[in-house]
Amino acid sequence: MSDRRLVSIIVPVLDEEQAITGLLDHLAALPGRLEVIVADGGSGDATCELAAEHPSQPRVVQALAGRARQMNAGAAVARGEALLFLHADTRLPLDASASVMAALTRPAILGGNFALRFDGGDSFSRLLGGWYALQRRAGVYYGDSAIWLRRTAFEELGGFRPLAIMEDYDLARRLQRAGRTLCLAGPASWIAIRWLFLAGVPPHRLIRLYPHVR
């Protein structure tokens, strides 16, 4: 049975030994009732060992490589009514749990993401942030902005489709069509590959442009 007061954070990883400890430190410092699930896709480094040894004691699950399969595997063991899918190179705002819980008190809201904030105060970072904000107003967002949704909505949508890439964009578009979503205040992404996806380039070819799929 799911816990309506719990946010399940699901992190797909593959060879993330350089990032996993810092990420888990960050998540452990967040307030709220959270469970962290690390969904490994067959790392050949110390990612799983470092996650298992972390003081916060995240749950570590194994899945076949591929972010969609990994995130679905994490969701399958999650106990929270709210599911939040987080990339290893994204950080959440301090009020992430409270923001998600508050949003889900509104029955019409199925899920959404967090507003992006690119590191650095240079003009290029501001340009990227502005461009992403414009896309979000059109209902376009990606996994790097921490997609979150009700467990019931995730199950009704059938989870992530087994695409080699753009599985996050695909889920976001299906979520948009299913009902209302909300962009919460908060974290960093890249967008160029979407245009190739929309132009019809198959996911198995796009994967070559994104060699380190997490």
Chain position carrying tokens 């990032």: 19
Q: Is residue 214 part of a domain?
A: no
pLDDT exceeds 90 at position 129:
no
Segments forming the whole domain that contains residue 52 = 3-209
Q: Measuring CA to CA, which residue among 205, 129, 120, 192 is closest to residue 165?
A: 205
- Written as six digits, the tokens of 139 are 């209902």
**Bridge pairing between strands 80-85 and 34-40:** unpaired
Count of structural domains, the chain: 1
Q: Tell which wins on pLDDT, 137 or 179.
A: 179
Give the Å distances, CA to CA, from 7 to 17, 44, 201: 24, 29, 35
pLDDT (tens digit, 9 = 90+) per residue, 165-202?
899 999 999 999 999 999 998 765 643 445 556 667 67
**pTM attached to this predicted model:** 0.84
Mean per-residue pLDDT, 89-101? 92
- What CATH number is given to the structural domain containing 43? 3.90.550.10
Is residue 22 included in any domain, yes or no?
yes
DSSP per-residue string spanning 106-153: STTEEEEEE----SS-SHHHHHHHHHHHHHHHTT---GGG-EEEEHHH
User: Is the Cβ–Cβ distance between 184 and 144 less than 8 Å?
Assistant: no
Dist CA 158 CA 127 (whole Å): 35
Percent of the chain with pLDDT over 90: 66
- Lowest-pLDDT choice from 51-65, 86-100, 109-123: 109-123
Q: Is 54 helix (H, G, I), strand (E, B) or coil?
A: coil
d(CA 197, CA 182): 24
Sign of CA dihedral 151, 103, 80, 96: positive
Per-residue tokens: 121: 């105060």
- The pLDDT score that the predictor gives to residue 142 is 78
What span, in angstroms and rounded, lies between the C-alpha atoms of 207 and 59? 28
Say if 190 falls within a structural domain: yes
Q: Each residue of 25-47: pLDDT tens digit? A: 999 999 999 999 999 999 999 99
